[in-house]
Amino acid sequence: MELFELVTAQTIPEAVKAQAKSSTAQNGAEVRFIAGGTNLIDYMKLNVERPNRLVDINGLPLDQIEKTADGGLKIGALARNADVAQDATVKEQYAVLSQALLAGASPQLRNMATTGGNLLQKTRCVYYRDTATGCNKREPGSGCSAIGGYNRMLAILGTSEHCIATNPSDQNVALMALDAVVHIEGVKGQRAVPVAEFYVVPGATPQRETVLEPGDLVTHITLPKMPAGAKSVYLKLRDRASYEFALASAAIVIKQDASGKIEFIRVAMGGVGTKPWRSLEAEKALLGRAASSATFRTAAEAALHGAKPQSQNGFKVELAKRCLTHAMGQASQSA
Amino acid sequence: MDQVTESKVIGVATPRIDGPLKVSGSAMYASDHHFPGLLYAWPVCATISNGTIAHLDTAGAEKMPGVVAVYHRENIGKLYRVPPSTGFTLILDEKRPPLEDDTIRYYGQYVAVAVAQTVEQARAAAESVKVTYNKEKPDTGEKLLGTPLTTDKPDEKSKRGDTAAALQAAKVKVDAVYRIPVETHNPIELHASVAVFDGKKYTLYETSQAVVNHRDVMAQMLGVPTEQVQVITRFLGSGFGGKLWPWPHGLLAAACARNLGRPVKLVVSRQMMFESVGHRPAIDQRIQLAADADGKLTAVQQDYVNHTSMLDDYNEGCGEITPFLYSTPNLLVTGGLVRRNVGNPTAMRGPGAVPGLFALESAMDELAIALKMDPVQLRLKNEPALDESLNIPFSSRHMKECLTVGSEKFGWAKRTPEIGSMKRDGLTLGWGMAACSWLAARIETEATVELLQDGSARVACGTQDIGGGTYTVMAQVVSHETGIPVNRVDVVLGDSSLPPGPISGGSWVTASMTPAVLAASQNAGKALVLAAIKSDGSPFKGKKPEDLELVDGTVRLKGQQQGAVPMAEILRIAKVNSVSGTGKSDSTFGAAKPKVSFHSYGAQFAEVTWQPEIARLRVSRVVTVIDAGRILNPRPARNQIEGAVVMGVGMALFEETMYDPRSGAPINNNLADYVVAVNADTPEIDVTFLDYPDYQLNALGARGVGEIGLAGIASAITNAVYHATGVRVRDLPVRIEDLLVPANRTTHLA
Ligand SMILES: Cc1cc2nc3c(=O)[nH]c(=O)nc-3n(C[C@H](O)[C@H](O)[C@H](O)COP(=O)(O)OP(=O)(O)OC[C@H]3O[C@@H](n4cnc5c(N)ncnc54)[C@H](O)[C@@H]3O)c2cc1C
Ligand code: SF4
């Protein structure tokens, strides 16, 4: 760990101003916000994150979960994962988010981890965490050790020849399926970015993961009102029963009409994409069709159509398909 | 010594006497020790696994805040080698003293060590040492069988009959290769050393499963007489074999303390735990079985190869159980080693037997299927009448009862053999089983017992309690012999200055300690009787020793309850604070011509649930029946088996240390990426002890239970996996990718 200075932000503009001194908001930032610290501190101990200044944002009034005027929900960036998961509205109307959060980490971690921190958690690629190895995300131009190395956990969608790391979050997959909007306050004021546009694929610049610029503070996210009668499910597949990141996961929001025809559908995947992955292809294959396991399987095939397996993770193609098919089935049957 | 058939304390479920210390956080583990002026050491670890150090630059690190010294090959000072060990002395796996030369043979090998005022400063300094290397291509190759051995040909480990001919003539045969990946010991307590040097004597607070051996090795390597080294391990946060022998970090800590004249603490990080403190080696095993049509084995052949490090030979001994487990006229076991750029392997819980039985018991399952025979019946059919490898009787073997009781408890009779044929709540069930065994032995042990005027007793032995319950069992044995209640027995262990006790390995502490502690208790009792008949004012003054007896903590005339005097009262009358006795136990281990075959036995039954639609496999139920002699304390004994079952779930389904073939680094070197079983993976666990005393081993008939619970579990699970899915996994762990067979696979006969 490097020596760093810790400052406490009293107001949002103060926090924004402090981070704006950093040359980037992406990998390699010299100034970092610290929320729960469950991701950042780990990487600082490993010398992967080497900020010389930490801005503690825990004192900012950003931990509320409130209904919005248009029937949606506003979740503060500092709302803890445990609180969001147990929130009555979330459980009732956005079950997929509650399930996703509860499928992640451990109770102790969820008590600390925040909505904003989860949104911005780093990949778990083993080479990213190991400074003795080359990694384009950590050190641009140093090569990608995962290609041809240990890549069983890594992505099959959205990869590039420069990086194949997954976004490991469960929360973010649910947010994709819920059309969440990320609200940001930056040096130029406030803006709102749909979560689908918040993340960027690695391409030739894997060090860049989101649209955030120096100074940008995530203040909250909003979830739009769900179509009446929509059901949602999160399904996570992994080696052990708990406390492990997803090999493949699925977040499904579905609404069927009285005849069983699919009227509304959102399909997102975790553990397989370089960003939380929404599959418009799968949605297209489902919308307007009658729900059936054959339709679900066809949609799942469509979702994995462009998958590019690496040396060790080819099984994820079939695993993700089964995950999607099963989750769609569960969602369509959930009362 | 007389067989003990009845006791008020032996066999009684007794809570751990060290429990309150542990739950209150006051038990002192090695790294809890702190001393004025203590410094912290942090090693610099090689980031290549094959090559040499080209340049090592410590200048920057030395100038960092708080840094006291940075040691490397040129300034660490003298460290010596140990002579080859004979018997249970001077054992260590990595024999090269740390920093001895500039050659790097495994990833994470220590190349320097930084010492500073705080642990953070030491770590920062270590990370600032600049090392450049001449890097060569490492060999961490996973394929072992068929690659060059360290010897011209494999060693013959056990042989009888003509195996080649019998295999050729066989009606029914199994021939398959089974693989075990590198598994890393992950006790929660990290390895640690706190070294104190007073200018002459070293006091070393260590994470050691063998304090006496540790002292001897350290004295030799530091070049001082053994009297000048004391090793202390009061409590151990487990070790699983990884803490049996000294590792380089302990020597670094001692050398730093010596060089600086100040106490030094070195705690190995979790990452280093994957590099430089041992692991279960990767192992390939080819098993060939032959049987006649009704299931009688006609030949068994096991050829195993395990990897070892570049400098030292670690032999996993996978043929440990094979020669005597089943009856067969023809048998051959061979073993070989291959060198890889890895840290030295070491014993991990059930070394040899655990991987060996994974292969053998998987092959037995395959044989049962080939024979269309029930796997339990196949094992019953091949039960031997004696240990056929040595032609000697078993001391006490109840394998058949383990199998039948286990079958009954598990409900095995309801099993239908067709793959995927059993269902419950929409889940496919798989049922599998395996037999298991582990050696039983005594090794040389000394103990002292003191009876004190305050009515308590103190027992001392230079062994360790690695969490298995040794403190409590020692107290029980003293209590049994003296009648002093368990909670008034003070147990002192984990100190090399005590009478030499057994290493905490081989599951033999209980069996070894028992005769020594019984004898010491009796001798203390004799001393007390002498005090009773000699002291003025004693009601027994002038009696003969044979007139008196010790019962329930009192001295009395033989057979007369009336007039009994508490032991403590006798000591007061005698005006002595205490009387003491010593006791010894001899060794059965490694006997040249054993007369009986000492082993423990067991049967393990596993149920898995399988959901092909999401490729989800879980272990739902495990039944274990163990024949391990008399169980002295059922609580920690059950605990050992339960823990082993959970560890076995990890072994079967999750655990694997992966080496990056390019760098040779164990790349999943943390508890997030090295997957062990968590609570949610823990099945329903049923444990039964048959509890037949093995009086040929000691007067209480106790063997040991530390390792056997892991010996059959992995194959019981993979056999169950086959029953559920039709996929035979011979290469551990079972991975989701192994099972991603088409969901609509047609059921066929097993
Ligand atoms: C052992 C372990 C297991 C885990 N398992 C899972 C799992 O199964 N599934 C899963 O999804 N996650 C898992 N996690 C990750 C966990 O969810 C994240 O660590 C957590 O969500 C991060 O939140 P935090 O508040 O602690 O973030 P911090 O560590 O405080 O911050 C993380 C990053 O976000 C930035 N940041 C934080 N808040 C803001 C903000 N408001 N605006 C802009 N930037 C901000 C920080 O600067 C930092 O770069 C696991 C973590 C651990 C340690
Ligand atoms: S996959 Fe990405 S994060 Fe992993 S080593 Fe390659 S560049 Fe780094």
Q: pLDDT category, B252, cuts 50, 70, 90?
A: very high
Domain A5-58 maps to which CATH number in 3.30.43.10, 2.60.40.420, 2.60.15.10, 3.40.50.12780?
3.30.43.10
Rounded distance between C-alpha atoms, residue A204 and residue A184, angstroms: 25
B542 phi-psi bin (left φ>0, alpha ψ -120 to 50, beta other): left
Alpha carbon distance, N-terminus to C-terminus of chain B: 52
Kind of pairing, strands B599-611 and B427-439?
antiparallel
Rounded distance between C-alpha atoms, residue B422 and residue B429, angstroms: 5
Tens digit of pLDDT for each residue in B131-149? 999 999 999 999 999 999 9
Kind of pairing, strands B67-71 and A262-270?
unpaired
Mean local confidence (pLDDT), B344-358 = 98
Q: What is the DSSP-derived secondary structure letter of residue B387?
A: B
Distance from CA of B619 to the nearest CA of A (A): 10
* Percent share of chain B, pLDDT over 70: 99
pLDDT at residue B689 in the model: 98
The protein residue whose alpha carbon is closest to atom 2 in ligand 2 is: A163
CATH 3.20.20.190 fits B19-23+442-585, yes or no: no
Q: Where are the domains of chain B?
A: 19-23+442-585, 33-137+189-237+243-274, 283-441+592-739
A38 lines ligand 1 (CB under 6 A): yes
Domains B33-137+189-237+243-274 and B283-441+592-739 share a fold: no
A122 is written with which tokens? 């780093």
Annotated active-site residue in B316, B607, B707, B737? B707
Which stretches within B584-679 are classed as H helix? 634-653
Q: pLDDT category, B9, cuts 50, 70, 90?
A: very high
Q: Is the pLDDT of residue B736 over 80?
A: yes
Q: A247 at the B interface (CB within 8 A)?
A: yes
B530 is written with which tokens? 């002498």
Distances (CA, A) of B61 to B68, B112, B113, B127: 10, 11, 11, 8
Burial bucket for residue B83 (CB in 10 Å: 0-12, 13-18, 19+): exposed
pLDDT at residue B149 in the model: 98
- Residues from chain A that touch B675, judged by Cβ atoms under 8 A, are 239-240, 244
Q: What is the 3-state secondary structure (H, E, C) of chain A?
A: CCCCEEEECCCHHHHHHHHCCCCCCCCCCCEEEECCCCCHHHHHHCCCCCCCEEEECCCCCCCCEEECCCCCEEEECCCEHHHHHHCHHHHHHCHHHHHHHHCCCCHHHHHHCEHHHHHCCCCCCCCCCCCCCCECCCCCCCCECCCCCCCCCCCCECCCCCCCCCCCCCHHHHHHHCCCEEEEEECCEEEEEEHHHHECCCCCCCCCCECCCCCCEEEEEEECCCCCCCEEEEEEECCCCCCCCCCEEEEEEEEECCCCEEEEEEEEEECCECCCEECHHHHHHHCCCECCHHHHHHHHHHHCCCCCCCCCCCHHHHHHHHHHHHHHHHHHHCC
Distance from residue A125's CA to the centre of ligand 2 (Å): 6
Cβ neighbour number for residue B153 with a 10 Å cutoff: 8
Q: Do B680 and A326 touch (CB under 8 A)?
A: no
Q: Do B47 and A132 touch (CB under 8 A)?
A: yes
Closest listed ligand to the CA of A141: 2
Domain B283-441+592-739 maps to which CATH number in 3.60.15.10, 3.20.20.140, 1.10.220.150, 3.30.365.10?
3.30.365.10
Rounded distance between C-alpha atoms, residue B608 and residue B411, angstroms: 14
- Residues from chain B that touch A326, judged by Cβ atoms under 8 A, are 613-614
Rounded distance between C-alpha atoms, residue A59 and residue B474, angstroms: 55
Tens digit of pLDDT for each residue in B597-642? 999 999 999 999 999 999 999 999 999 999 999 999 999 999 999 9
Q: pLDDT category, B1, cuts 50, 70, 90?
A: low
The protein residue whose alpha carbon is closest to atom 48 in ligand 1 is: A40
A327 lines ligand 2 (CB under 6 A): no
Distance from residue A137's CA to the centre of ligand 2 (Å): 6
Rounded distance between C-alpha atoms, residue B45 and residue A208, angstroms: 31
Tens digit of pLDDT for each residue in B681-705? 999 999 999 999 999 999 999 999 9
Q: Where are the domains of chain A?
A: 5-58, 231-333
**Closest residue in chain A to residue B65, using alpha carbons only:** A3
Rounded distance between C-alpha atoms, residue B688 and residue B102, angstroms: 53
* CATH topology assigned to domain B33-137+189-237+243-274: Aldehyde Oxidoreductase; domain 3 (3.90.1170)
pLDDT at residue A211 in the model: 98
CA-CA-CA-CA torsion sign (B385, B390, B396, B400):
negative
Distance from residue A215's CA to the centre of ligand 1 (Å): 19
Q: A124 at the B interface (CB within 8 A)?
A: yes
Beta strands in B228-358 (DSSP E): 229-232, 264-267, 283-291, 297-308, 330-339
Task: Convert B19-48 to b/e letters by CB count within 10 Å (16 or more is b).
Answer: eeeeeeeebbbbbebeeeebbbbbbbbbbb
pLDDT at residue B742 in the model: 57
Distances (CA, A) of B543 to A66, A171, B105: 90, 83, 71
Task: Convert A218-232 to b/e letters by CB count within 10 Å (16 or more is b).
Answer: bbbbbbeebeeebbb
Q: Is the pLDDT of residue B393 over 80?
A: yes
Distance from residue A175's CA to the centre of ligand 2 (Å): 24
Q: Do A242 and B735 touch (CB under 8 A)?
A: no
Q: Is the pLDDT of residue B61 over 80?
A: yes
pLDDT at residue B744 in the model: 42
A127 lines ligand 2 (CB under 6 A): yes
Domains A5-58 and A231-333 share a fold: no
* Percent share of chain B, pLDDT over 90: 96
Q: Is the pLDDT of residue B647 over 80?
A: yes
Tell me the best of A58, A83, A121, A122 to mutate to test the pocket of ligand 1, counting ligand atoms within 8 Å of each CB and taking the most.
A121
Contact B726, B741 (CB under 8 A): yes
Q: Do B613 and A315 touch (CB under 8 A)?
A: no
Contact B233, B206 (CB under 8 A): yes
Closest listed ligand to the CA of A158: 2
Q: pLDDT category, B750, cuts 50, 70, 90?
A: very low
pLDDT at residue A63 in the model: 98
- pLDDT digit string (tens) for chain A, length 335 residues: 888 999 999 999 999 999 999 999 999 999 999 999 999 999 999 999 999 999 999 999 999 999 999 999 999 999 999 999 999 999 999 999 999 999 999 999 999 999 999 999 999 999 999 999 999 999 999 999 999 999 999 999 999 999 999 999 999 999 999 999 999 999 999 999 999 999 999 999 999 999 999 999 999 999 999 999 999 999 999 999 999 999 999 999 999 999 999 999 999 999 999 999 999 999 999 999 999 999 999 999 999 999 999 999 999 999 999 999 999 999 998 75
* ipTM summary value: 0.96
CATH 3.90.1210.10 fits A231-333, yes or no: no
Q: What is the DSSP-derived secondary structure letter of residue B30?
A: G
Q: Do A150 and B668 touch (CB under 8 A)?
A: yes
Q: pLDDT category, B520, cuts 50, 70, 90?
A: very high
The protein residue whose alpha carbon is closest to atom 6 in ligand 2 is: A144
Q: Is the pLDDT of residue B745 over 50?
A: no
Nearest to B681 among A126, A235, A240 (CB): A240
- Phi and psi torsions of B243, nearest 5°: -110, 15
pLDDT at residue B86 in the model: 76
Closest listed ligand to the CA of A131: 2
> pLDDT averaged over chain B?
96
State which ligand 2 atom lies nearest to the alpha carbon of A165.
1
Polymer length in residues for chain B? 750
The protein residue whose alpha carbon is closest to atom 14 in ligand 1 is: A105
* β-sheet bridge partners, residue A258: none
A115 lines ligand 1 (CB under 6 A): no
Q: What is the DSSP-derived secondary structure letter of residue B591?
A: -
pLDDT at residue B88 in the model: 76
Tens digit of pLDDT for each residue in B25-59? 999 999 999 999 999 999 999 999 999 999 999 99
Q: Is the pLDDT of residue B590 over 90?
A: no
Question: Does B737 participate in catalysis according to the annotation?
Answer: no
Rounded distance between C-alpha atoms, residue B676 and residue B186, angstroms: 9
Mean local confidence (pLDDT), B574-579 = 96
Chain B residues at the A interface, defined by Cβ less than 8 Å, are 47, 120, 123-124, 127, 613-616, 618, 653-654, 658, 660-663, 665, 667-668, 672-673, 675, 677-681, 735-737, 740, 743
pLDDT at residue A335 in the model: 52
Distances (CA, A) of B714 to B338, B436, B605, B693: 24, 11, 10, 28
- Residues from chain A that touch B658, judged by Cβ atoms under 8 A, are 150
Q: What is the 3-state secondary structure (H, E, C) of B529-568?
A: HHHHHHCCCCCCCCCCHHHEEEECCEEEECCCCCCCEEHH
Distances (CA, A) of B420 to A323, B622, B715: 21, 19, 18
Q: Is the pLDDT of residue B669 over 50?
A: yes
